[in-house]
Amino acid sequence: MALTFIAFAYIVALTLTALLIFFAICLIIIFDELKVDDKDLIKQCKTLNLLIMLECMTHIFINFLFVISGEWLTVFFNLPLVLYHINKQCRHLLGEFGIYEARRIMISEIFNLAQREGWIRLSFYMITFFYYIYCIIAELIRK
């Protein structure tokens, strides 16, 4: 049972997806704290923006590993969320204060949308976590 580059890519992706799940849970907790107004709004938005940037870079790195290893099905499975991350980051770079800005986040539509996005990303990362476990086992059995 040899460890191929594909198996290594899935192991790294599994580990980083566990980190992404942690980021998504932190994001949901911060939104819950914002809902009850327990914390400083500007500080929480800075934390949210940092988490989103780390999440974006980590997810793009995972997909880069899969492109190098030639796992195209996994790349296409992850592609919608990668494009979503790139779109959000490009809007941020084009002059907005951040993806989550303190004056706009408390508008109920934006807040509810951001909270829903956090739950959707958490669900996606949970699904990919178990998919990566399956792919690791399948790759190790195949070799």
pLDDT tens per residue across span 54-66: 999 999 999 999 9
- The mean pLDDT of the chain is 87
For residue 74, give every residue at least 6 positions away whose Cβ sits within 8 Å of its Cβ, in sequence order, or none: 66, 131, 135
The answer to whether residues 18 and 81 touch, using CB atoms and an 8 Å cutoff, is: no
pTM, entire model: 0.87
Q: How confident is the model at residue 92 (pLDDT cuts 50, 70, 90)?
A: low
